[in-house]
Amino acid sequence: MSLIPFRTKRSSGMEGGNLATLADFRHEMNRLFEGFFSRPTPFTPSWFEATEPGQWMPAIDLSETDTQIRVRAELPGIDPKDVDVSVSGDRLLISGEKKSCTEESGEGWSHCESHYGAFSRAIPLPESVDPAKVTARYDKGVLMVELTKAPSSTSRKVPVLTK
């Protein structure tokens, strides 16, 4: 018994047998998975931002310590002057625009290719932060944002008093 279906001269898989059923099932599963993240649903989390085909959204890593929240965003090929970072309420907003143009020419030919696109990410913060103590550094295509937690949100050990 073979686990991998194959076609023979007698069974092309198109006459409604098992192979056609498996092919139809595979096609339907591929269609479902391809469209799964492109259409928001009522159950889509608030942090998920669907993109249109051709749009780009930077990858984000979030880590937390007792006193800080760190956000790492991958922004390859973006000029740091084209990146905006702001804190609004309980969200960190990172937005910008990617602009690149490569131009090559030789004897009798010329080639120019341009890539443009805006992006925006709103990252919900797990705790309140002090907006005055937010720093952002950009190095080799990676944006590092460090947010200091507000004093009211830092944890402390509470002693248990006895009578």
Query: Taking a C-beta distance cutoff of 8 angstroms, is the pair 17, 24 a contact?
Result: no
Inside any domain, residue 127: yes
Q: Which residues of 99-132 are buried (b: 16+ CB within 10 A; e: fewer)?
A: eeeeeeeeeeeeeeeeeeeebebebebeeebeee
Give per-residue pLDDT as tens, 29-88: 877 777 665 555 555 444 444 455 456 678 899 999 888 999 999 988 888 888 999 998
Give a yes or no: residue 162 inside a domain.
no
Residue type, 97: E
Confidence (pTM): 0.57
In a domain, 52, yes or no: no
- What's the domain range around 22? 13-44
* CA angle 119–121–127, rounded 5-degree value: 165
Q: For 74, what's the count of Cα atoms within 13 Å in the CB-facing half-sphere?
A: 6
- Please indicate, yes or no, if residue 89 is contained in any of the structural domains: yes
Q: Residue 5 falls within a domain, yes or no?
A: no
Q: Are residues 86 and 140 in the same domain?
A: yes
